[in-house]
Amino acid sequence: MTTILKNIVVPTGNILIVQGENGRELECLSIGDYGKHANIKADFLGLSDEINGVKADTIMPLTEKWVITISTQYGCSMRCKFCDVPKVGPGYNATKHDLLMQVEAALSLHPEITETKRLNIHYARMGEPTFNWEVLHATRELKNLVSLYLGDSLIHPVISTMMPEYNGYLLSYLLEWCELKNVVFNGDAGLQLSINSTNDKEREDMFSGNTKSLSKISDIADKLPDPVGRKYALNFALCGYEVDGEKLASLFDPNKFMCKITPMHETSACKERGLITADGYNYYYPYREAEESLKAAGFDTLVFIPSQEEDESRITCGNAILSDKKCGKLW
């Protein structure tokens, strides 16, 4: 049984606080999409218009695309300096029931929707998914669950990982995910590695020493099979950090990896530390230099820009739960 404790309406959909199996709270997100022509610049896809501001008033029907983002842990122990979730508490793994229940909670919001052309399910809310093997088990059951609500609609699950340093089974985990992506979902799944900088000193600081170095990530990347369908993604949330395409291409194969550039979300943690993408929601120019560097190195490069209203409506991880709590200062 799904227990929705709070339903917060945001410009693109809903943030839900749900009751987890162990009695604690989890966050999940059900949102629509603006459409790739509205908030994406990707020359390799034929989307070459510069994005200078995204209006939050025009959302595609959920029958076209539906995005559900779920938490894989209660809280998080990665302590990334740009994220508010550490204030929720340390990362304890959600159960398989918790994971599937969050998807079901989101689907239950719209009984009028009986099919969609694309259902994206992102393991990218609270927590580091590669610490939780139940993510893999739950993913194998997604088709059966979703079919109860949306029939044979296309499902596209995506894992977003910070590539934690202190995860001894990270390679094994990612290999199993790649088998899900390439075989079980016939390429209709994604893997995103959150890199943010090509400078290891900057990465050491922003991830509080809890992510692997780029050379270690590169060693793992070399062992992953060639992707079926969409390439694996290297994500950069811009905030004045180094983005050196030539250096990146020496570590990651552009035939295997594409790059995604986003603004740094304006979380409370970012505001306290001054980690802001200046004018990143209103103008394209903050992204130009990084995009050109990555494209020149041979990477398919996608610039994704959400609306300013999304950040202002607690859309970022942990903020729905934190809004009901009194939290002290960041570490």
pLDDT > 90? residue 176: yes
CATH number of 4-322: 3.20.20.70
How large is the average pLDDT for residues 21-25? 86
pLDDT > 50? residue 329: no
Q: How far apart, in whole angstroms, are the C-alpha atoms of residue 178 and residue 226?
A: 9
Pair 258, 234: CB distance under 8 Å: yes
pLDDT > 70? residue 25: yes
> pTM, whole model, 2 decimals?
0.90
Q: How far apart, in whole angstroms, are the C-alpha atoms of residue 172 and residue 224?
A: 10
pLDDT > 60? residue 267: no
For Cα atoms 104, 123, 33, give the angle at the middle one, nearest 5 degrees.
75
pLDDT of 322 reads 54
Answer with the residue of higher pLDDT: 164 or 12: 164
Residues ≥6 apart with Cβ < 8 Å to 219: none
How large is the average pLDDT for residues 125-152? 97
Q: Is residue 144 very low, low, confident or very high in pLDDT (cuts 50, 70, 90)?
A: very high
Domain ranges of the chain: 4-322
Q: Per-residue pLDDT tens for 92-111?
A: 999 999 999 999 999 999 99
Q: Per-residue pLDDT tens for 33-72?
A: 888 888 889 999 999 988 776 666 678 999 999 999 999 9
- Note the maximum CA span of the chain: 51
pLDDT of 272 reads 58
pLDDT of 328 reads 33
pLDDT > 70? residue 130: yes
Which range of 41-50, 199-208, 220-229 scores highest in mean pLDDT? It is: 220-229
What region, left, alpha or beta, does residue 259 occupy, with left being phi > 0 and alpha being psi -120 to 50 degrees? beta
Q: Which of 160-169, 207-216, 225-234, 285-294 has the lowest mean pLDDT?
A: 285-294
Residue closest to 69 by CA, chosen among 109, 102, 101, 40: 102
pLDDT over 90 percentage in the chain = 67
pLDDT > 70? residue 312: no
How large is the average pLDDT for residues 17-45? 89
pLDDT over 70 percentage in the chain = 84
Q: What is the DSSP string of 5-18?
A: EEEEEETTEEEEEE
pLDDT of 122 reads 97
How large is the average pLDDT for residues 64-92? 87
